[in-house]
Amino acid sequence: MCPALCCLIGASLNSCMELDDSVYTTIVSDKYHYTEKDMVAILGNAYTPWRSVVIGAINETQTISTDETMIPVHPWGWNGTTINMHLHTWTSETGEAVNRWGDLYTGINNANQVIYQIESGLLPVTEGKDNYLAELKAVRASYYYMLCDYYGNVP
C-alpha cells in the first residue's frame, strides 16, 4: 500500500515546465488589429453609460428630488434613499448621488479613451475621422452638461 501511495504522490508532483498560454476569454489588444468596421462598436462604448444615466437620472434623481414624484415609505425603507432625495438631505454617500456621479464620469472617460485612440492612430480611421471626433466630443459634452446640472461646477 505504501509504495502505491508514494507513486501516486510522486506522479502528482510532476508538472510541465513549458506551457503556452492561449487566451480564449479576452481580446489581447497587442494581437488584435482594428478595422473600419469596428468603429461603430468602439463608438458605442461612449454611449453605454447613458442607459443608466437616463433611467436612473429621470426616475431616481430628478423626479424624486422635486415635487413631481413622491414615493411612499415602505417598512424596509429602501435605506431612506427616496426620503433623502426628496428632502434634499443626501450626502456624498447616498447611493443615487454616487451612482450618477460614477455613471457620468464613466461616460466621459469612455469618450476620452476613444478620442485618444483615434487621435493617436491606434484606431485606423481613414474616412470620417473629424465626424467621429465631433460626435465623441458632443457625447462627452452632454455628460458634462448632466454633471453640471446635478452637481454644479465640476472638474
- Pairwise CA distance, residues 52 & 57, whole Å: 8
User: Which amino acid does the sequence have at 65?
Assistant: S
CB 96 within 8 Å of CB 10: no
Question: Phi-psi bin for 91: left (phi > 0), alpha (psi -120 to 50), beta?
Answer: beta
Contact 139, 47 (CB under 8 A): yes
Burial label, 105 (beta-carbon count in 10 A; 0-12, 13-18, 19+): middle
| First CA to last CA distance, the chain | 72
Q: What is the pLDDT of residue 109?
A: 96
Q: What is the pLDDT of residue 14?
A: 67
pLDDT of residue 36: 77
Over residues 125-155, the pLDDT tens digits come to 878 889 999 999 999 999 999 999 888 888 7
Which tens digits make up the pLDDT trace of 81-90? 777 888 888 8
Cell of 47: 454611449
Over residues 78-132, the pLDDT tens digits come to: 677 777 888 888 887 877 778 888 899 999 999 999 999 999 888 888 788 899 9
Residue 77 has a pLDDT of: 66
CA distance 118 to 124: 7
What band does 5 get if pLDDT is binned at 50, 70 and 90?
A: confident
Please tell me the predicted confidence (pLDDT) of residue 140: 96
Q: What is the pLDDT of residues 35-56, one digit of tens each?
A: 777 888 889 999 999 888 887 6
Helix axis angle for 39-47 and 129-151, nearest 10°, is 10
Which of the 8 DSSP states describes residue 23? Answer: -
C-alpha grid cell for residue 151?
452637481
Name the residue type at position 25.
T
**Confidence check: pLDDT of 1 > 70:** no
DSSP classification of residue 58: I
